[in-house]
Amino acid sequence: MTGLPAVFARYSTAINLSTQSDNLSWSCSHSERALLFPVKNAPLSSAPFDFVYEGPYTKHSNPSRPPDGALAIRRQSIPDEFKGTSTVELIKKEGTTLGLTVSGGIDKDGKPRVSNLRQGGIAARSDQLNVGDYIKSVNGINLTKFRHDEIISLLKNVGERVVLEVEYELPPVSVQGSGVMFKNVEVTLHKEGNTFGFVIRGGAYEDRNKSRPVTITTIRPGGPADREGTIKPGDRLLSIDGIRLHGMSHAEAMSILKQCGQEATLLIEYDVSVMDSVATASGPLLVEVAKSMGSSLGLALSTSMYCNKQVIIIDKVKPASIADRSMHGEERCALQEPDACL
């Protein structure tokens, strides 16, 4: 909590800091309930344990922003074993645009790809495209030999129904083992415009080496999933209203998402970081968690008396929250002597 001595802080002050700060650190040791002991002005390099939560897609979770240079270069040529494909259907009214910016062409810097999705545009709200996706064809017309201006003209004049054949890099495979464990959580969402506000990739392929769990790669800002707050990029979608997605293709998973009711219960699998330094630590831990301004850590704080002093403790941790993903749920923090605080 930004170096403020939480032992002596007002409860309302601690709550305010936990929701408004975008870079928080506190010191604690193990147990089911935790006394917060922020270390004042302690350099992170001196901490026994540091953690900054970033899921596998965190850096590119905003669909309107292009990927960084390294990712863009890597995607110039996707190896076949990492290449996924999908068909995207968009419907637009006459005189409107898709809200889609395309770069590339035979006269430009490579194959046509999505370089921007305008927030609120048809393409972004469809929750079927990511920045960096390659567009192979438009309404069956192969774009391989098209110049950039020809591609733009085609997209503008193709008609009200636009069918894109899209190529993308398959999501990485999460492996449960050293440093990572899997947990599940149920999330109930309400549709808007027949989508839940996230993009999925992966699914089963005939080539088993390409098969992946159905993975959520992008959370659309302001959409249902974003407002609910539990799901993060990189999470796996295991089932929809009890229908298991294991062994289903991307197209089959998309069909179930579209056909389910306006309210659906999703079973989500997510990664939890388990650090050896946490499991073996016996003293204070300085934990740093990065989050966006105004978002919740998922901590429920309460007050208690300890050594004749009122202290603030972590009472509960919300499943799949930033805090839960940062350390094993059963290895919380424990009480320490208040005079051990810095």
pLDDT digit string (tens) for 209-220?
A: 899 999 999 999
Q: Which pLDDT score is estimated for 328?
A: 52
Q: Taking the chain, what is the end-to-end CA distance rounded to the nearest angstrom?
A: 13
Residue range 148-165: mean pLDDT, rounded: 93
Burial class from Cβ neighbours inside 10 Å (0-12, 13-18, 19+) for residue 151 reads: buried
In the chain, beta strands by DSSP E: 23-30, 34-35, 83-91, 100-105, 110-117, 134-138, 141-142, 161-169, 180-190, 198-203, 212-219, 236-240, 243-244, 263-273, 285-290, 299-306, 309-317, 333-334
Judge whether 135 and 164 are in contact, CB under 8 Å.
Answer: yes
CA distance 335 to 313: 8
Condensed to tens digits (0 to 9), the pLDDT of residues 236-258 reads 999 999 999 999 999 999 999 99
Q: In this structure, are strands 180-190 and 263-273 parallel, antiparallel, or unpaired?
A: antiparallel
Average pLDDT value for the chain: 77
Whether 273 shows a pLDDT value over 90: the answer reads: no
**Which of 59-63, 321-325, 329-333 reaches the highest mean pLDDT?**
321-325
C-beta of residue 184 within 8 angstroms of C-beta of residue 238: yes
Whether the CB-CB separation of 257 and 200 falls below 8 Å is answered with yes
Mean pLDDT value of segment 143-158: 93
Of residues 296 and 26, more confidence is placed in: 296
Taking only the tens place, the pLDDT of each residue in 22-78 is 555 454 443 334 444 443 333 333 333 333 334 444 444 444 444 443 344 444 568
Q: What percent of the chain has pLDDT over 70?
A: 69
The full DSSP string for 231-263 is: --TT-EEEEETTEE-TT--HHHHHHHHHHS-SE
Rounded to two decimals, the pTM is 0.74
Tally of CB atoms within 10 A around 159: 9
315 vs 131, higher pLDDT: 131
Distance CA 23, CA 281 (A): 23
